[in-house]
Structure 1
Amino acid sequence: MYTISQIGLPIAIAKRVAEADAKKDMKKIKQILIISLSITISLSILSSFLMYLIIPYIANHLLTDKRVFYPMMAIIPIIPISAVGSVIRGYFQGRQNMKPQSYAQVIEQVVRIGFIFVLVSWLIPYGIEYAAAGAMVAVILGEAVSLLFMLKMFQLKKRIKLRKNAWQYLANGKETLHQLFSIAIPSTASRLVNSISNFLEPILVAQSLALAGFQATVATKQYGALTGYALPLLFLPTFITHSLAIALVPNISEAEANQHKKLIHYRMHQAIRLSFASGAIATVLLTLFADSILQYMYGTTSASLFLKIMAPCFLFMYIQFPLNASLQALDLAKQAMWNNIIATLIKFAFLVILTTNPEIGIYGAAISMCVGVIIGTVFHLITLYRAIHFYIPLKMLLKMLVLIFSTFWLGILLIKIFSFEISNIISFFIMVILLFVGYIILLFSLQFISKDELQQLRRK
């Protein structure tokens, strides 16, 4: 419902605003905003109402756990709040002003985590379903404060008045609507595939594990270890790759509008290089120190094997973000959509086949996620090669391999030198610091980060 209410407009707004901004067409930017807000507000109200109607059926029959009723009801207000916020974010991205949404995201996280601590602690005596609902309310409060901040920043920085002649802009906005939907519809379909995938995945896992002979409580606990412990750690490096992907859309859109083909390739190579650099160190840490990290963070090592299986595969995920953003910016959203659909279908096929096997069980879900990530990334690379002859040079691939294997070797060497045991947290931190120092030396030695890029970071 969240995806439907946004209908893929954030990326479309960023691209079209960037193109209009390059031409200094403020009227076009105003029209884009008015049309986008009208669509998202209308759809978010409809989506919220539909979600309210179908939640009882989802809780009782699809997820087969009545306890999810209260958390799902509690999260409904997130739909309209996020829908409006997505339009404002798309506007700032298109203007290549990343500061407002960056500050807003930090504010949202602080508010959300603070209220999660308060509300969950307060509601846990009443039952875990109420505590989970409290966590959802905390998410809404974080999003609401974030939206208020962005609206204030928009009011301070805007050079246009949205309410003035709004109906006139809507009436004459057929061409703008078509331009937005040419990106938004395929983008929505692509995101909808991911949303449906995330919705169906726990259902398929629960049903498959039941067929394999696992009880419902065991299946829930195993899937919880995968999605609650392993996946958050695996997605941790994506705060860099996601930021690069967001910045890529207006950059490439502007370069394409000005016919700067070499700049397009350079920006894409730069994003892939930096995404891999951020993901490689995480992969090594999560593979070598899976037990230690899980024990220190969660007090359990139940998701250790998940991390060891999935961490190397998620290197493909880290470079998939900028590849997907590049496809959106180049008006190849439809191709990106089909890539995601095919990858998701293959992932589900592997999930059902492997998870229904009692000897593999829940690890089939982990393997299927890896398959989906790898196939999706490869398909994106093939699409970009066919469209603009983009490819990752052999020299860059060799540097990637040298970086990851050298870092992995250094990690193993440090474990042997320190005779590391999981109970020794001081040794762990010393090894991590030394590993980071060695990794930074490797980054500069292999020229993964240039002096020019460092100077840009200092300036910003």
Structure 2
Amino acid sequence: MAIYYKGIFFLTASAFLGEGIEFVVNMILARELGTHGLGLYMSILPSIFFIVLLASFELPVSISKFIAEKEERYHRNILYHAMTITIIFTSILFLLATIILPFIPVFNAYHPYVRWIVMILIPVISFTSVARGYFMGMQNMGKIAISNFLRKTVQLAGLFFLFRFFTFNGEQSLLIALCTLIGSEIIVFVYLVYMFIIQFQHLKRHPFSNMNRKVVRKNLMAVSIPTTGLRLFSAFTGAIQPFIIKGALVRSGMAEGMATEQFGMLMGVAMSIGFFPAFIAHSLMVVLIPAVSKTHSQKDYSSLQKMLQQVMKLTFVYGVIAVTFFYFFAPELTSLFFKSDTSAVFLQMLWPFFLFHFFIMPMQAILIGLNMIKEAFFHITWSIIISYALILLLGSRPEWRMNGIIIGMNTSAVLLALMHYLAICKKIGVSIFMKGFIQNPTER
């Protein structure tokens, strides 16, 4: 358990610094792009993240899980087969993107170069994912922490330098913002792949055992395919969320330009502030996947129950403190971005969304570690269906508008957190109040 706590410490410390930098990045973007430009930036991000998700093929999750469950003598062979899969998959995806990307209409409102710089992410993310998955599986969270901090630092430095010494129009400023985002991923790629090569050379000097190629492929695909499907669904629904929200606002009678600005304040200001403490949840998520996988493979249910207890207590403490602070200091925090009372109201109304998402992230990692990806997919599906139904129903009514949209978002977070929690409790044999532990629950 010591390496588990050490990993959490490294990731949390670096993520805290990274989130602080991200906060400054969003402030720069808000001031340089304006309300409309920030709305466009936030609208295209889900589509970019969708492509990133495809490129990663959730290899960090599948590789980290497999590495954590197997002895070190098998690691070299696992990585060799993982690289082979990555090369084949990346080549196919890059070819498909070259053919399809020019016809995707979501990019029409942006600079023509945006389509092509996004394609650079495909090989970058794919090969970075192998290195990231290996270090996660080995519980070597120091390198993951450095890479996460490096990404934010490079993005901030790029934005500060370019906007400080050069002048751009609105379209060019948006292009620069996206280029710095993608450039930071390239720097992370160089760092992680370099460290991975050094580690792989170290593995080659030690005795190793081969595993059947089909067995390795089956084990990696058994996690990557359903997890990718889960994340693809989330990314797809996230990519269409801007259009659903803005569409509902337009149907309520709001002008399209105003709807874009409202969305920008929701995602670029309220979300940026509200998700600031999520670096703790994300750190827990990264550490929990290999830790839970290894513990579950050993059928150590008492340790799993202890992990759940610790995660829930930690999340409750920092989550309640965070949302309370955001609620009472919303005007002061949002004024760092825009002088607008609207974004402060959004931040205050979204407190259930933020609080329950702090629980959702580590619980989703536990579900993956427990081989309950199918259950997680069903939970997300139902929560999104209900959320979007409420957004369209309430958000399109003139008397509700953004209030109705926020109600839909809050409902989704509460429902998803409860479904995840109940499923985990049932799987590891603990009551919903974490009392009455049952030894070896699968043998009941």
TM-score (norm 1): 0.77
By how many angstroms is 1:88 displaced? Answer: 0.9
The Cα of 1:47 is off from its aligned counterpart by 3.3
**Paired position in structure 2 for 1:336:** 376
Counterparts of 1:44 and 1:392, CA distance in 2? 43
SS of 1:214's partner is: coil
Conserved? CA contact 1:384–1:391, under 8 Å:
no
For structure 1, list consecutive stretches of 5 or more residues without a partner in the other structure: 396-460
Q: 1:209 to 1:68 in 2, by over 3 A?
A: farther
Who is 2:60 aligned against?
Answer: 10
- Compared CA separation, residues 335 and 156, structure 1 to 2 (3 A): same
Distance 1:68 1:39, change over 3 A: farther
* 1:26 is aligned to 2:73: yes
Report the AA paired with residue 143 of structure 1. E
**Which residue in the other structure is 2:86 paired with?**
40
Tell me, yes or no, if the aligned pair for 1:9 and 1:87 is still in contact at 8 Å: yes
Displacement after TM superposition at 1:200 (Å): 0.6
Name the counterpart of 2:110.
67
Quote how far apart the aligned CAs of 1:389 are: 2.5
Would the alpha carbon gap of residues 179 and 394 (structure 1) be closer, same or farther in structure 2, given more than 3 Å must change?
closer
Give 1:56 deviation, angstroms.
4.7
In 1, Cα distance between equivalents of 2:387 and 2:320: 24
Q: What is the number of residues matched between the two proteins?
A: 383
Residue 69 of structure 1 deviates from its aligned partner by 4.7
Q: Which moved more, 1:84-93 or 1:299-308?
A: 299-308
Q: How many Å separate the matches in 2 of 1:54 and 1:361?
A: 35
2:371 aligns to what SS in structure 1? coil
The one-letter code matched in structure 2 to 1:96 is Q
Identity of aligned residues (%): 26
What amino acid is aligned across from residue 354 of structure 2 in structure 1? Answer: F
Deviation at 1:128, TM superposition (A): 1.9
The residue correspondences of 1:66-105 to structure 2 (distance < 5 A) are 66-67=109-110, 69-105=112-148
- Secondary structure of 2:119's counterpart equals coil
Unaligned runs of 5+ in 2: 1-50, 436-444
CA distance in 2, matches of 1:200, 1:91: 32
Q: What's the offset of the Cα at 1:388?
A: 2.2
Distance change >3 Å, CA 156–CA 7, structure 1 → 2: closer
CA deviation string 1:291-317 (max 9, x = no partner):
111113444333111111111332111
Partner-residue secondary structure (3-state), 2:341 = coil
Asked if 1:152 is matched to 2:210, the reply is: no
AA at the equivalent of 1:13? I
The reply to whether residue 210 of structure 1 matches residue 262 of structure 2 is: no
Q: What's the counterpart of residue 142 of structure 1?
A: 184
Is the contact made by 2:127 and 2:193 (CA closer than 8 Å) also made in structure 1? no
Look up the match of 2:232.
Answer: 192
1:119 aligns with 2:162: yes
Give the structure-2-normalised TM-score: 0.80
> In terms of mean alpha carbon deviation, does 152-161 or 343-352 score higher?
152-161
Whether 1:278 and 2:328 are equivalent positions in the alignment is no
Once residues 309 and 111 of structure 2 are traced to their aligned partners in structure 1, the CA distance between those partners, rounded to angstroms, is 43
Distance 1:299 1:48 in 2: 43
How large is the RMSD of aligned CA atoms in angstroms? 2.5
Deviations 1:11-38 (A, max 9, x none): 1111110011xxx3423x2232223233
